[in-house]
Amino acid sequence: MLDKILEGIKDCVTKEELEDKLKRKKILKVKYGADPSKPDLHLGHYICLRKLKDFQELGHRIIFVIGDFTAMIGDPSGRSKTRPRLSEEEVKENSKTYMEQVFKILDPEKTEILFNSSWLSKLSTKEVIELAAKYTVARMLEREDFKKRLSLSIPISIHEFLYPLFQAYDSVYLQADVEIGGEDQFFNFALTREIQKGFNQEPQVFITVPLIEGLDGKLKMSKSYNNSIDFNDTHEDMFGKVMSINDDLMIKYYKVVLRKWNKEIENFIKENPRDAKENLAFEIVKIFHGEEKAKKARENFIKIFRKKEAPLEIPSFKISRGKLLVDLIYELNLLPSKSEVRRLIRQGGIKFDSEVIKDVNYKILNNGILKIGKRKFLKIEIL
């Protein structure tokens, strides 16, 4: 049991306490929190959810906390400046798809989903003061990101100190036995143990998992950094995104995301990196979309990028003759703004029937295949 729990982790504080809890308690409360700062979960979240799945398969109680209250503060972990604060409306909108995404990995019958606003929003001013009194400013400034910002005279807002305290209170309220999170949460989790002791509770064990770099190969995967592979990506987009990662990241993705690593895979990557990356992309797409769609995504990728052909399946759209290309792409939500469409045209990133479009005022007059960027294709038919 313990071997399965500790597989693929970064830290366990402490292993001895975890062993003791497993001996004393038949069912542990295992907590994981995610702030809906953006509407999509990504592969970084998957690593944590897969560890929750390990606990779930061993019969323990999983509590997924949607941090709708804490998201309005913003987690300062790993940040070089204060996060922009989100409105209550933004947080609610971002929360809508979380449950659907979580249940792609976890068993909905065995997962409890809670919103931390249901208890944090009810704390009185007196209770917040009592919570804040359980930790010191000196200890708070020990965390690396705060220390660095202080040394560089970058402002730290008082409300940022409240974030780890409120996150800790989640565990106090739930009387959590175990908490799972990324390795960047080490400070927050260690603080939580101290706060629980301050409330005369047995401190939770915390387990951290490795972070993975995103598509840029530098920063941790995050929607905020626009470098993520998301649960809700189409199978084609997900496959293409994995194929775009740096070759140097393949080892980490095999180890951390797939939890597959042996001498055979190591040799596979060294001897045939292209096929190894295609296999990695196939396995990741299979997790979220199933084997059949993973096969289709691989076939499409080979057809487009190796054979330079159009994909097997292309969505078809009927339009009026003379439709502005910029308007069409924007109206189909293929790019977030018309200025983004124009920028891509100027960069030579849009083709119509293999011809690079250079005119931002281009009008579509004939049937043809439209290619937007590297992976998006549309079949255009004139009414």
C-beta separation of 49 from 231 below 8 A:
no
At 365, the amino acid letter reads L
> pTM value?
0.77
What pLDDT sits at residue 226? 83
Tokens read off for 4: 């399965």
CB atoms within 10 A of CB 336: 9
Predicted confidence at residue 370, as pLDDT, reads 85
Cα(202)–Cα(21) distance, integer angstroms: 10
What does the pLDDT read at residue 294? 95
Nearest-CA neighbor of 229 among 287, 305, 190, 171? Answer: 287
Q: 13 phi and psi, to 5 degrees?
A: -120, 100
* pLDDT reported for residue 76: 65
Residue 110: what residue type? K
Task: Count Cβ atoms below 10 Å from residue 360 Cβ, excluding itself.
Answer: 17
Q: Could you give the C-alpha distances from 65 to 5, 6, 180, 293, 301, in angstroms and in order?
A: 20, 22, 11, 31, 37
Q: pLDDT tens track of the chain, all 383 residues?
A: 788 899 999 999 999 999 999 999 989 999 999 888 778 899 999 999 999 999 999 999 999 999 989 888 876 665 555 556 677 788 888 778 888 899 999 999 999 999 999 999 999 999 999 999 999 888 888 888 888 888 888 888 888 889 899 999 999 999 999 999 999 999 999 999 999 999 999 999 999 999 999 999 989 998 878 899 999 998 988 998 999 899 999 999 999 999 988 899 999 999 999 999 999 999 999 999 999 999 999 988 887 766 565 565 677 888 888 889 999 888 888 887 888 889 899 988 898 877 888 898 998 888 888 888 877 788 888 87
pLDDT value, residue 125: 95
Q: What string of H, E and C letters represents the secondary structure of the chain?
A: CHHHHHCCCCEEECHHHHHHHHHHCCCCEEEEEECCCCCCCEHHHHHHHHHHHHHHHCCCEEEEEECCCHHHCCCCCCCCCCCCCCCHHHHHHHHCCHHHHHCCCCCHHHEEEEECHHHHCCCCHHHHHHHHCCCCHHHHCCCHHHHHHHHCCCCCCHHHHHHHHHHHHHHHHHCCCEEEEEHHHHHHHHHHHHHHHHCCCCCCEEEEECCCECCCCCCECCHHHCCCCECCCCHHHHHHHHHCCCHHHHHHHHHHHCCCCCHHHHHHHHHCHHHHHHHHHHHHHHHHHCHHHHHHHHHHHHHHHHCCCCCCCCCEEEECCCEEHHHHHHHCCCCCCHHHHHHHHHCCCEEECCEECCCCCCEECCCEEEEECCCEEEEEEEC
Cβ contact 270:334 at 8 Å? no
Distance of CA 75 to the CA centre of its chain: 14
Q: In the prediction, which pLDDT does 309 show? A: 59
Sheet containing strand 29-34, edge to edge, reads 11-13, 205-209, 178-182, 29-34, 61-66, 111-115
Q: Exposed/middle/buried for 365, CB within 10 Å: 0-12, 13-18, 19+?
A: exposed
- According to the model, what pLDDT value does residue 278 have? 94
